[in-house]
Structure 1
Amino acid sequence: MARLSQELARFACLPAHPEQPEPYPEGSPPIRLEEILKLAGERSFGLFLAVLSFPSALPLPAPGYSTPFGVVILLLALQMLAGRTTPWLPPWVLQTSIERKQFQKWVQAGIPWLQRIEKVACPRWQPVCTSRLGQVWLSTLISLMGISMIIPVPGTNTLPAMGVFVTAFGLLEEDGILCSLGSLICVAAGLLTTSILVGLWLGGTTLLDWLRR
C-alpha cells in the first residue's frame, strides 16, 4: 500500500521533484471532499482526518479553511466515537471544494515533513489505535480539537490541527506511539486554546468594567 506522501503527491499531480510542481491547467475544477473520501478508501478515517488537518498543521497559514475543515473533523470524530467503521458525510459537505492550485501548494510544502514522519512510523503499540478504549480516547481528543479549529481566534487552529494530524497518521499506520504523541499535542493544544479564551474573556470583562466607569 502506498505511503501517504506518495498518495498525496500523485493526487496533487506533483512530479518526482516536488520543488518543481507541475501546475494544474487553467480552469481545472476544484477538488471536492468527495474525491478525498474516495482517495481514502478503506483507510477512510485516518487518511481523511490527516488530509483535512494537513493545511492548518503546516507553518504556512490556511486562511478560510480551518473553520470548515474543523466542522468536518468534528463530524468524523463523533462518528468514530459512536463506533462507526466508515465515515458518512451529508452531500452538501462532500461538495465542499478546495482550489486545486492551493491544494498543490499545501502538499508541496508538507511532503518533506510528512516523509520524515513516515521514516519512523510503523505498526506498534497497536491497542492504542485499535482497542475500543483507545478509539474512544482518541476520537474524544480529535472532537475537541475540531471544536478548537472552528473557533475563529488566532492561536486556536495550528496546534490543534497538528495534534489531529499526528493522531490521524498514527491511526493510518496503526502506530500507537504516534497516536500517543498526537494525544499529548492535543492536550497541550486544549490547554492553549483554553488559556486564550479565558484571557479574552478576562480582558473583555476588564474592558467593560473600565468603560462603565
Structure 2
Amino acid sequence: MTAQPSVDLTISQRLDHLVAEAPAEQISLSWILHQLHERAFGLFLLILALPCCIPFLYGIPQIVSLPLMFISAQIVMGRRDPWLPGKLGERSVTKDGLDKLSQRAGPWLRRIEGVSKPRLALLTNPPLDRFVGLALVLFSASILVPLPGTNTVPGFAVVVVAMGLLQRDGILVIIGSLLGTAWIASLIFAGATLASLIKNWIGL
C-alpha cells in the first residue's frame, strides 16, 4: 500500500504522522522542522505553541518560546524557509509528549479545520504577513512572563494565527491577533497598575 503523501494530510493528521516517523524518544526541534517541508512556518509555529495552551504548565513553554520568537521574526524578515540555529535546534521534546499532545489537540484542530476556509488570504501572504509575524513575536515573547498561567492565552493566540496561516484564513489570523493583542494590553495595564500601587505604597 502506498503511503499517503504528507501534502494530502490534514493538519491533525500531520501531527500523527510526525509522531509515527519520530526516530527516537527524544526529538530535537531541528528534526521536527526538517520533516515539515511545505507550509513549514505555520506548522512549526502550531506545534511549538500547542503545549503553551495548557494552563499552569511549566518548563515546556520556556523551551519553545525562544524558537517561537525566532521563527516569527523570520516571517517579519520575509524568509521563505524557516531555520533554527544550533542551540535552539538542539532543544528537544519527548516522543511520548508529542504523541499525547497530538491526541489532546487533534479533536480541537479538526474542529477548527472544519470551519476554516480560504478567505481574506491577503493577510497570509506578503507583504501583510510580515505584520502578522511581528504580532507573533510579541505574543511569543509574552509567554516568557514568569507568572502562573501566563502562557495559555498567548499560546492559544499563536495557535489560532498559525491555523489561519496554514488554512489561508484571514479571519482566523484576525481572531488570533485580536486575542493576543488584548493579552499584551492587559499585561501592560496590569504592570502599570502594579507599578503605581508600589510607588504609592513606598511614598514616591
Taking structure 1 as the reference length, the TM-score comes to 0.83
Q: Does 1:30 align with 2:26?
A: yes
Q: State which of 72, 91, 98 in structure 2 corresponds to 1:96.
A: 91
Question: 3-state DSSP class of the match of 2:84?
Answer: coil
Give the conservation status (yes or no) of the 8 Å contact 2:41–2:71: yes
The offset of 1:140, in angstroms, is 1.1
Distance 2:102 2:158 in 1: 17
Distance 2:100 2:193 in 1: 34
Q: Identical aligned pairs, as a percentage?
A: 31
Distance 1:66 1:200, change over 3 A: farther
Q: Residues 67-112 of structure 1: CA distance to partner in whole angstroms, max 9, x if unpaired?
A: 2211111111111111111112111211101122222222221111
- Which residues of 2 match residues 120-159 of structure 1 at below 5 A? 120-132=115-127, 134-159=128-153
Distance 1:110 1:81 in 2: 27
Question: 3-state DSSP class of the match of 2:160?
Answer: helix
Distance 1:148 1:168 in 2: 17
Structure 1 segments unaligned to the other structure (5+ residues):
14-23
Q: State which of 157, 165, 174 in structure 2 corresponds to 1:163.
A: 157
CA RMSD across the alignment: 2.1
Q: Does 1:185 align with 2:192?
A: no
Question: 3-state DSSP class of the match of 2:78?
Answer: coil
Question: 3-state DSSP class of the match of 2:117?
Answer: coil
- 1:11 aligns with 18
- 1:64 aligns with 59
Taking structure 2 as the reference length, the TM-score comes to 0.86
* Corresponding letter in the other structure for 2:78: G
Distance 1:125 1:45 in 2: 19
Q: State which of 168, 172, 176 in structure 2 corresponds to 1:174.
A: 168
Distance 2:191 2:11 in 1: 34
Distance 1:172 1:187, change over 3 A: same
Structure 2 segments unaligned to the other structure (5+ residues):
1-7
Q: Does 1:194 align with 2:188?
A: yes
Distance 2:197 2:28 in 1: 40
Distance 2:61 2:74 in 1: 20
- 1:48 aligns with 44
Distance 2:198 2:50 in 1: 33
Give the conservation status (yes or no) of the 8 Å contact 1:155–1:196: no
* Corresponding letter in the other structure for 1:4: I
The offset of 1:12, in angstroms, is 2.8
Distance 2:192 2:198 in 1: 10
Give the conservation status (yes or no) of the 8 Å contact 1:156–1:193: no
Number of residues of Structure 1 aligned to a counterpart in Structure 2: 195
Distance 1:203 1:66, change over 3 A: farther
- 1:18 aligns with none
